[in-house]
Structure 1
Amino acid sequence: MACSENMFFLIGFFMSGVLACFGQRDLITTMPDRLDVLTGSCVQIPCSFDIPDLHKDKFNSAILLSGVWIKENPYFGERPDRVIFNSSETVNRYQGKITGNMSQKNCTTVFFNVTTSYSDIYYFRIESKPFRATDPEKSVYIDVRDLPSSPIISVSGEVKEGTPVSLNCSAFAPCPEHPPELTWILPTQFTTENQLHKNTDQTISVLSTMTFTPSYLHHEKNITCTAVYPVGTSNKTAEHNMMLNVSFSPKDTLASISPADSVSVGSCVNLTCSSTANPPVTNFTWFQISGGKTTQVASGLSYTLNVTAGDGGQYFCEARNSHGCGKSNEVQLAIKGQEETVNTMVFGIAAGTLGVLLLISLISVIGWRRNSRLHDGLERTDSPQGQNSPVGTVCTNQATAGEEPEEPAEDQPEEIQYGDIDFSKLQTKEIPAAAQDRVQGQESEYAEVNVTGRGAQEPPLNNLDGLYAQVNKTGGC
């Protein structure tokens, strides 16, 4: 029985080979072309198959299928040792299992404890009754290494100053049960998001997306993505370094002048502009500031001129690229013979400013002294000597008795309407001289009451001397 089965197997294999030679494929498999694997780890081979129309009537998915992996060469008639795995067998050369659903034409397989001897080409075969077939035109190359492959860094879009950008780091996960862990090293703050990613060939990768906002200071700085693979009780590490290429407008724009000292009319002066930008500066423009007016005078990295009398003043440059422009500092072009005029003007302005300040200070002192004199005079009217005067008596009586002031006569001056003087108690018949003195005394009394007793506005400064004279006269009475 065993001989007849082997004979049937060999005949079937021979017919498959003959049909393959004539361009007929009995089995069509899909798998990656290459897999890089770590020593001691596992490897998952994504695999699927299909049956050509010619043999679909022979294939029955309801029947238990066996998956077979063949190493080095699909033709194993004379070399049965090339068969390294058969899912129907309990003991195989390679320890593994088919994780896919064969009835759904999924032949994904995992091999464990991979060693360097596993590095080779592998073909897939299915066996069932009555259909058996191998795909000799499709294989996968497994490369077993002691060190992992470096992760891959990619950039989505332009890295531009001030604009958030995302960088992707991808590391192949040949053993999805133990995927690598990805970490970033970057000279700025960032956020990350990690996830498993299925590639177009059905292999699995770990994808880490890092987002940050670049600055021109990050230009030509290195970033690092590190992949750490767990293998048994240890780890294996691989990393990828990349230099950032940040686009930014001109920075650190600087203007210089040579010679820097004052020059004579007719001499040669050279001005130079420098700037840092990415992409490089495409246009330099020079400006002169003279008499408070800014004028564009030249273009180019350098500006050379034979000095004339009108060239004196300040100069600056602007550097521009596709992302913007940067303005430089201002440099002074001093011409001999003109600097004395400039110094004189500066001295005159400074002296004038100082004079104005002194004048303001002097006016403030005079005002303060006058105010002090006014307050001193008012305080003297409130002294004990002033309390014996009619003014002190009127102010005290009104405050003590709380009586309302009587209406003044209609023929009195308007300013007396605000006084507190009781004219009904005054004598009306006086000799002319005495009456005149008494009226003057009462006017002094009113002036004092108007200032201190009623809170009226202060008299003008040009009347203060008269007020002081009246106060002194009243106090002396």
Structure 2
Amino acid sequence: MDQKDKVLIYIWLGIGVLSQPVFSDGWTATVVKDMTALVSSCVVVPCSFKYTGANRPTSRLSGIWHFKEKPKENIYHEDSVKIVDNFKGRTKLLGSLGEGNCSLMMDQVKDHDNGPFCFRIEIPTHDQYSYVDECVRIAMLSQPLKPTLLAPKTATEGEPFTITCSVMHTCPSEWPSLTWSTGESIITYHRNHGLGKWETLSTLTLLPQEKDDHSEVSCTANFHGGKTSSERFQIFVKRKENIWYIIVPVTVGLGTAVMFGALCVLMRKKYKRQIVELQTRSGNSMWNRFSRMSRRFNSGGSEPGSASTEQRQ
């Protein structure tokens, strides 16, 4: 190998070294690889990325999303002409590329929008890189998830009773709305569970009455794209325990006890009087007998009638 060939080899090796940053550890991305999406609604794919060299403003960066197996078929590009027809007007980037945010929103989800889809960054005068090791696959839901209702098992008459309705979704740019069949005080809020999952919650506060026992309350989730789902909850109302529920039974009990005691006293007096009368009658009879015996003894043992007969003789 002559000197000229060696020079050419070194030149090619140098070019290869210069192109190595696209394979360096500085080019990394974090993408949620498996997600679910409701057909006709939207889905947001969380994505962040890094690249080599100094940070650049968003205006100096170009973000692209494409099919993994078909890198030339873009589902998002800042130049809409370069987006495949099926995705035109349905995708956009959320956040700021300058801050390393490559999150993708896909609207009007179709049942064939499965992917996998990958992110690509292009930096003019620097380099470009497709993060094909961090791509997302999307599983489609033809029907929305039902809301979850949480509440105590029973309500107390006249006391605040709270029911919470919640539903999971993947579309934070268009939150599902939650509506109740009835309500007095309603509060709605949202939570991010990470990994592309969000939750919308609504809290309903009621003041149930006795007539509301076994009644039903329903919560309906209205998703972006027009689909809905609902769930029902049956309320069991117990009567409120107050002082009257204590006074009345106690009063009745005491009244019954007093009446029974008075009856016992009257019965005792009645039977005691009867016993005295019996004893008195018994005593008088014995006294009469004793008196007759005493008179007979004094008259010599004969009856008054016999004495008169002897005198006549």
User: Please, what TM-score do these two structures have when normalized by structure 1?
Assistant: 0.39
Query: Which position in structure 2 is the counterpart of 1:228?
Result: 222
Query: Which position in structure 1 is the counterpart of 2:121?
Result: 126
- Contact 2:35–2:196, Cα closer than 8 Å, also in 1: no
Amino acid at match of 2:65: W
Distance 2:134 2:140 in 1: 20
Query: Which position in structure 1 is the counterpart of 2:285?
Result: none
Distance 2:236 2:136 in 1: 38
Distance 1:101 1:172 in 2: 26
Distance 2:235 2:130 in 1: 49
Amino acid at match of 1:90: V
Distance 2:61 2:21 in 1: 21
> How far off its partner does 1:181 sit?
3.2
The 1:167–1:121 alpha-carbon spacing in structure 2 relative to 1, beyond 3 Å, is farther
Specify the structure having the higher radius of gyration (Cα): 1
Distance 1:244 1:181 in 2: 23
Instruction: Identify unmatched segments of 5+ residues in structure 1.
Output: 1-7, 251-287, 295-312, 314-340, 349-477
Cα distance per residue 1:380-424 (max 9 Å; x no partner): xxxxxxxxxxxxxxxxxxxxxxxxxxxxxxxxxxxxxxxxxxxxx
The 1:159–1:212 alpha-carbon spacing in structure 2 relative to 1, beyond 3 Å, is farther
> How far off its partner does 1:101 sit?
1.7
Query: Which position in structure 1 is the counterpart of 2:48?
Result: 49
C-alpha root-mean-square deviation of aligned residues, in Å? Answer: 4.6
> How far off its partner does 1:160 sit?
5.3
Amino acid at match of 2:186: T
Distance 2:77 2:202 in 1: 37
Higher relative contact order (CA 8 A, sep 6+): 2
Query: Which position in structure 2 is the counterpart of 1:116?
Result: 111
> How far off its partner does 1:226 sit?
0.7
Query: Which position in structure 2 is the counterpart of 1:211?
Result: 205
Tell me, yes or no, if structure 1 residue 103 matches structure 2 residue 98: yes
Distance 1:219 1:133 in 2: 64
> How far off its partner does 1:230 sit?
5.3
Alignment of 1:450-461 (within 5 A): none
> How far off its partner does 1:179 sit?
4.2
Distance 1:168 1:199 in 2: 17
Distance 1:154 1:36 in 2: 25
Distance 2:30 2:99 in 1: 13
Query: Which position in structure 1 is the counterpart of 2:139?
Result: 143
Instruction: Identify unmatched segments of 5+ residues in structure 2.
Output: 1-14, 242-252, 271-313
Distance 1:178 1:203 in 2: 13
- Contact 1:67–1:87, Cα closer than 8 Å, also in 2: yes
Distance 1:291 1:159 in 2: 37
Distance 2:62 2:219 in 1: 42
Query: Which position in structure 2 is the counterpart of 1:292?
Result: 257
The 1:108–1:15 alpha-carbon spacing in structure 2 relative to 1, beyond 3 Å, is closer
> How far off its partner does 1:239 sit?
0.8
Distance 1:122 1:29 in 2: 13
> How far off its partner does 1:113 sit?
3.3
- Contact 1:63–1:128, Cα closer than 8 Å, also in 2: no
> How far off its partner does 1:210 sit?
0.7
Query: Which position in structure 2 is the counterpart of 1:36?
Result: 37
- Contact 1:151–1:239, Cα closer than 8 Å, also in 2: yes
Tell me, yes or no, if structure 1 residue 191 matches structure 2 residue 185: yes
Instruction: Look up the SS of the partner of 2:95 in the other structure.
Output: coil
Distance 2:162 2:33 in 1: 29
Alignment of 1:340-419 (within 5 A): none
Query: Which position in structure 2 is the counterpart of 1:241?
Result: 232
Instruction: Look up the SS of the partner of 1:292 in the other structure.
Output: helix
Tell me, yes or no, if structure 1 residue 80 matches structure 2 residue 106: no
The 1:177–1:60 alpha-carbon spacing in structure 2 relative to 1, beyond 3 Å, is closer
Distance 2:211 2:31 in 1: 48
Instruction: Look up the SS of the partner of 2:101 in the other structure.
Output: coil
- Contact 2:65–2:118, Cα closer than 8 Å, also in 1: yes
- Contact 2:168–2:199, Cα closer than 8 Å, also in 1: yes
- Contact 1:193–1:208, Cα closer than 8 Å, also in 2: yes
Instruction: Look up the SS of the partner of 2:223 in the other structure.
Output: strand
User: Please, what TM-score do these two structures have when normalized by structure 2?
Assistant: 0.55
- Contact 1:170–1:205, Cα closer than 8 Å, also in 2: yes
Query: Which position in structure 2 is the counterpart of 1:68?
Result: 64
- Contact 1:66–1:126, Cα closer than 8 Å, also in 2: yes
> How far off its partner does 1:118 sit?
0.7
> How far off its partner does 1:49 sit?
1.4
Query: Which position in structure 2 is the counterpart of 1:454?
Result: none
Instruction: Look up the SS of the partner of 2:144 in the other structure.
Output: coil
Amino acid at match of 1:98: L
> How far off its partner does 1:197 sit?
5.0
- Contact 1:120–1:143, Cα closer than 8 Å, also in 2: no
Amino acid at match of 2:46: C
Alignment of 1:255-270 (within 5 A): none
The 1:105–1:239 alpha-carbon spacing in structure 2 relative to 1, beyond 3 Å, is same
Query: Which position in structure 2 is the counterpart of 1:182?
Result: 178
Instruction: Look up the SS of the partner of 1:116 in the other structure.
Output: coil
Q: Percent identity?
A: 19
> How far off its partner does 1:175 sit?
4.8
